[in-house]
Chains A and B, each alone.
Chain A
Amino acid sequence: MMIKIVIGGQMGKDEIKKSLIKLIGDRDVEITVKNDLDAAMAIQNGESDYYIGACETGAGGALAMATALLGSDKTVTVASPSKVLSEEEVADEINNKGKIAFGFTINTKDTVLPILVKYLVK
C-alpha cells in the first residue's frame, strides 16, 4: 500500500522533500508539501499518513498546529535544541506509541530524516 507523507512545519520544506526522495528511493511513497495548518488537516482528513515538519525549535512552527489538531498523543518532537531522541526512542514512539506527526529542528535534518524513513517506510 502506498504511504503518503505530508511535509508541513515551517523551515526547509523543499530540502526535506529532496532528502526524503533520496532516502526513500523507488519505494511507493507520495510526498506533498503544504503549510502547517493544511498539512495537519490532511492527516486529520485521512489524506496523508504521516506529518513531518521542521523549525528552529522542533515544536513551534514545526509541530504546533499538528499537535493542536491531532493531540499530543499523535505527535512527537524528535529533536529540540535541548534534546535529540535516539534511534531506539524514535522507533519506540512510532512502533509502540502510535506517533504519526514528527517535528524537529532544521539543523538536525540529516540525522533525523534517515531514522524516520527507516521506521515509517518499511
Chain B
Amino acid sequence: MNVTTLINYLLIAAVGGVGSILANRGIAVFNDGLRPIMPEYLEGKITRKELAATSFAVSFGLIIGFGIPVSLGSTILVAHSILLSADVIGTWTPDTKWGTALAGIIGAIYGAGLLFGLSSIVALFKMLPFNFLPALSLMSGPILLAFCAFPALAVASQHSPKKGFITFGLTFLAYLLATKFGTFKVNGYTITLNAIGMSLLVAMICMIYFAAQIKGDGNSNASLVNVFSKRVGRIKGNWIWLSIMGGLITSASSMLILAVDILPQQLLVKNQVMEAAIATFARAIGFIPLVFSTAIVTGVYGMAGTTIIFAIGLLLKGQPIVAFLAGFVWMWIEVQLLAATAKGLDKFPGLRDMGEHIRTSLQDTIAIALLIGSAIACNKMAANIGFFWVIGFWLLNKKSKKPLVDMAVGPIATIAFGILLNILRVIMIF
C-alpha cells in the first residue's frame, strides 16, 4: 500500500467518522429531508427510535438505489454513498457520550470499508470473463458537454422558453468561439481557454442575469432569521465541528476520491477536473437557498454546507493539507454569513427561486445524458440488445412500484447488463 492510498483511506474514514458524529449530535445532516426532523427530536417531540426510523426511511433508498450503484466501476465515491450513511449511522447510535464515540468508530469503518469495497469491485470487474469496464467508461461521454445545457433549461422553466433558447444559443456560441479562438500565445506561452468552462460560464451569467432582474421586497427569509435566531446561533456555536468536517471533505475532494454528485463524479472519471470543479460550483448555487433556509429554521447545518467546499477541493487537487485548511476556513465563513446571505436573498427573489430550477434542470439534464451514455455503453457490450435493454429499463422504471431516481437508471441498467452478460457468458449463451 503506497502513501497516497493510505492517505485516501484515512481521509475517507475520517469523513465517515466525523460525519456520523455530527449526525449523532444533531450538528449537521446531509439529507435535506432529515434536517427538519432533527429539531423535533432535540425538543423531545419524537423519540430517538422514531428519529432513527425516519432517517433510515429518507436515506436508505438513495444509498442503495443511487449513491453506491453510481459509484460502482470507479474509486470515486458519490457523496450520497457515504454522507447519507453517516446520517443513518449517527441517528442509529445512542445519544450519549459512548453513542457519539460509537458513531465515530462505525462511521470510520464504514467509510474505509466502502472505499475498499469499491476498489475490490473494480478489481473484480477486471477479472470477469467479459470485462465491461471499457464499455462502462463510454457512459459518461454525452455528459461531458451536455450538462452545459442545464442553465438554458433552468431559464426556460423559470422565465420563458424564449429566454431559454437565447441562453441555449449563447452557450452554443460560446463553445464555438472558445474552441475556435480559445488558444493564443502570450509571451511565448500557449494559453488554452477551457471551452466547456467558458460555455458554462456564459450560460450561468445568462441565468443569473435573468434571475437577478426580478426584484422584490419580500421578507420570508428575514422573518425566519428573526423567529429562529436561537437556531442560527446554535449553528454558529458548532462552527468548530463544522469546520473540521469541511476541511476533511475538501481534503478528500482534493484527492479525487469523493464527488458531491454523479455529474462531477463522471467528469472526474474522465479526468476533467476543472470541468468537475465548475459543475460542482454551479450545482452548489442551486442548493444554497434550500440548505440555508432549512438550516436557519432547524439549527442543524448541512454536513457539507452549501457543498462549495467540494469545488474548492477540486481546485486544490493533490494538496490535501492546503485543501483541509481552505475547507476549514470556508465552512467558518459560510456559517458566519448564514443569516446575512439568507436575508440578502429576500431582495432577489428571482435568485432564491433559481435554486429549485437549477436543481431540477440539472437532475433532468444529467438523467438524459446518462441515459444516452448508458445506451451507448450497453450497445457497445452487445449490439442492438443494448439499446433494447436500456430503453426498456428506463420506461419500465417509471411504471415500477418503487421507481429509481432518474439519474440512477442509466448507470444501474448498464452495470446490471454487464453482470447479466457475464452470467450469460458463463452458461455459454453470450
Contact = CB atoms under 8 A, between A and B. Distances in A.
B179 interface: no
Contacts of A72: 36-37, 40, 45-46, 54
Interface in B363-418: 363, 397-398, 401-407
A109 to B, nearest CB: 10
Contacts of A10: 290, 356, 359-360
Interface in A76-113: 77, 80-84, 103, 105-108
A24 interface: no
B32 A60 contact: yes
A37 interface: yes
Interface string A60-81: 1111110111011100010011
B220 A38 contact: yes
Interface string B320-358: 000000000000000000000000000000001100100
Interface stretch (B142-150, B195-203, B291-299, B310-318): B291-299
A107 B356 contact: no
Contacts of B359: 10, 55, 61
Contact of B35 (A11, A41, A64): A64
A73 B50 CA distance: 12
A12 B359 CA distance: 12
Nearest to B220: A37
A49 interface: no
Interface string B48-89: 000000100110111001100000000000000000000000
Contacts, number: 119
Nearest to B367: A56
A98 B398 CA distance: 30
Nearest to A63: B33
B360 A80 contact: no
B24 interface: no
Interface string A19-49: 0000000000000000111100100000000
Contacts of A107: 397-398, 403-406
Nearest to B407: A56
B91 to A, nearest CB: 14
Contact of A81 (B40, B66, B290, B360): B66
B101 to A, nearest CB: 28
B34 interface: yes
Nearest to B227: A69
Contacts of A55: 359
B402 A68 contact: no
A60 B33 contact: yes
B266 interface: no
B93 interface: no
Contacts of B36: 64-65, 67-68, 72
Nearest to B37: A72
Given A60-B32, A81-B405, A41 B61 contact: no
A85 to B, nearest CB: 11
Contacts of B401: 84
Contact of A57 (B62, B220, B397): B62
B256 to A, nearest CB: 25
A61 B54 CA distance: 16
B265 interface: no
B33 A59 contact: yes
Contacts of B220: 37-38, 41
Contacts of B54: 72
A61 B32 contact: yes
B356 A61 contact: yes
Contacts of B61: 57, 80-83
B297 A68 contact: yes
Interface of A: 10-12, 35-38, 41, 55-65, 67-69, 71-73, 77, 80-84, 103, 105-108
Closest 3 CB pairs of A and B: A59-B33, A82-B61, A81-B61
Interface of B: 31-37, 39-40, 45-46, 54, 57-58, 60-62, 65-66, 220-221, 224, 289-290, 293-294, 297-298, 352-353, 356, 359-360, 363, 397-398, 401-407
28 contacts: A10-B356, A10-B360, A36-B293, A37-B224, A37-B293, A38-B220, A57-B405, A59-B33, A59-B34, A61-B32, A61-B290, A64-B35, A64-B36, A65-B36, A68-B35, A68-B298, A71-B40, A72-B40, A73-B45, A77-B57, A80-B58, A81-B62, A81-B66, A82-B65, A84-B401, A105-B405, A107-B403, A107-B405
Given A37-B220, A57-B58, 10 more contacts: A37-B352, A56-B363, A58-B33, A58-B58, A59-B32, A60-B58, A68-B297, A77-B57, A107-B403, A107-B406
